[in-house]
């Protein structure tokens, strides 16, 4: 005898609900046992030995397949933009500060397949950091360098990541910092580049001192406290102005500083501005490491009008950093040795000589550029840039100033000197 259709439907419904319940319970158990995902791969919070999602790739390939993370990077080589992209795996970059800019820089370099990253920071991840990029809420409480390593190792397990959770401005830590610059590369030699992504004068001066001592090329970056401007700067000891040669360049934001409310207000930050600055910094880094394009000495960013001023500042022969002066001397000696010996070939045609020069016009070689002391006033900078403070005027300029103006300038110089001296002396404490 056939079963009642209503009973059959009820039985089927009960069985289906039971199966769905068991499936849901199994999925919940699987989720609890596996690490939570993040935007950059798998989070490994609480795991001492995070396991990458794939095996390391011994040799990168340009093969266009879904499983090849390097195909679109190697396309730069196939298109003729970069001569040998694979060389990036031999490079080591030290990133000082892995906050809003530095963490994004580290992620970009990791995705580009850099050989090794050395990260320096002493801060911890906080929920207040979530308005910026990279870090996840479940990483709150971890040191930034450890949280960064946990994420980056899953983005690209081919990259070696070394972390140092300390303040580089103390004496002991400064020595370790210098040692890692000197011996931190994949071959235990000098690193290829140092990137400064810190947010304070003291740390920048510490990086400046270390790189001048080691003759290490580095790049500096920063975002303004109102979050609407930022910059990157290429610094080559002896060739370009170091951080102590002239006042730091800042991007003029066309905002009346007197209207900004600072009392009870923390420094502002926008992920947009930080991402733009990080992108410029990594692009300049890739051009330097892989030898393509034009390396920018200074690029500013004014977010209010999408303006990007550029400039280049020569070193100051009177820089108070003795190592900077030594590097300048070495650079000039190298230029003399490398200068080609050009022998002029006589021609049959006599050159045209103009006896009269009514306007006293003098032609200069394109290579002749002024030093920092010749251009160290905001009026001579590229449009949209200014110094954080005006440098000390020359003696002949001071003769035209009133006693009050001279006293004001002396006070500014005294404050600047005090900041520089404190940055140097802090390492001895």
Q: What is the pLDDT of residue 33?
A: 46
Cβ–Cβ contacts within 10 Å for residue 36, how many?
12
pLDDT (tens digit per residue) in 266-309: 788 899 999 999 999 999 999 999 999 999 999 999 989 888 88
Count: domains in the chain: 1
Residue range of the domain that includes 47: 41-302
pLDDT (tens digit per residue) in 361-372: 444 444 444 455
Q: Which residue has the higher pLDDT, 104 or 391?
A: 104
Asked if the structure places residue 239 within a domain, the reply is: yes
Hey, which residues are catalytic here?
266
pLDDT class for 312, splitting at 50, 70, 90?
confident
Asked if the structure places residue 256 within a domain, the reply is: yes
Asked if the structure places residue 278 within a domain, the reply is: yes
Asked if the structure places residue 381 within a domain, the reply is: no
Asked if the structure places residue 236 within a domain, the reply is: yes
Q: What is the CATH number of the domain that holds 111?
A: 3.40.50.720
Q: What is the pLDDT of residue 150?
A: 94
């Amino acid at each position: 005898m056939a079963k009642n259709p209503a009973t059959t439907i009820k039985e089927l419904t009960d069985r289906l609900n039971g199966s769905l319940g068991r499936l849901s319970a199994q999925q919940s158990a699987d989720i609890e046992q596996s690490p939570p995902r993040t935007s950059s791969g798998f989070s490994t919070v609480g795991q001492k030995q995070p396991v990458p999602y794939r095996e390391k790739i011994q040799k990168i390939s340009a093969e266009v397949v879904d499983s090849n993370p390097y195909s679109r990077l190697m396309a730069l080589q196939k298109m003729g933009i970069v001569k040998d992209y694979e060389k990036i795996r031999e490079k080591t970059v030290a990133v000082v500060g892995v906050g809003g800019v530095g963490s994004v820089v580290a992620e970009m370099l990791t995705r580009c397949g850099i050989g090794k990253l050395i990260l320096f920071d002493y801060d911890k991840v906080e929920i207040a950091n979530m308005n910026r990029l990279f870090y996840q809420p479940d990483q709150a409480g971890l040191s930034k360098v450890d949280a960064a390593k946990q994420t980056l190792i899953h983005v690209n397990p081919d990259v070696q990541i070394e972390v140092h959770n300390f303040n580089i401005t103390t004496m002991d830590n400064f020595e370790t910092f210098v040692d890692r610059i000197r011996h931190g590369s994949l071959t235990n030699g000098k690193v290829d580049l140092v990137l400064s992504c810190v947010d304070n004068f003291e740390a920048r001066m510490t990086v400046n001192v270390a790189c001048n001592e080691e003759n290490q090329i580095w790049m500096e970056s920063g975002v303004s406290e109102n979050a609407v401007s930022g910059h990157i700067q290429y610094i080559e000891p002896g060739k370009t102005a170091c951080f102590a040669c002239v006042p730091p360049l800042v991007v003029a934001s066309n905002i009346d500083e007197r209207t900004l409310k600072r009392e009870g207000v923390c420094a502002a930050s926008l992920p947009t501005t930080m991402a733009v600055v990080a992108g410029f910094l990594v692009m300049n880094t890739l051009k330097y490491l892989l030898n393509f394009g034009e390396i920018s000495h200074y690029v500013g960013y004014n977010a209010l009008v999408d303006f990007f001023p550029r400039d280049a500042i020569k070193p100051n022969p009177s820089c108070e950093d003795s190592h900077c002066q030594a590097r300048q001397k070495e650079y000039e000696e190298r230029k003399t040795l490398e200068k080609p010996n050009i022998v002029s070939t006589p021609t049959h045609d006599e050159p045209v000589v103009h006896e009269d020069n009514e306007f006293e016009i003098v032609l200069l070689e394109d290579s002749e550029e002024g030093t920092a002391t010749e251009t160290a006033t905001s009026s001579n900078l590229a449009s949209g840039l200014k110094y954080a403070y005006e440098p000390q005027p020359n003696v002949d300029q001071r003769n035209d100033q009133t006693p009050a103006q001279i006293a004001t300038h002396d006070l500014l110089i005294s404050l600047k000197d005090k900041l520089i001296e404190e940055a140097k002396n802090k390492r001895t404490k």
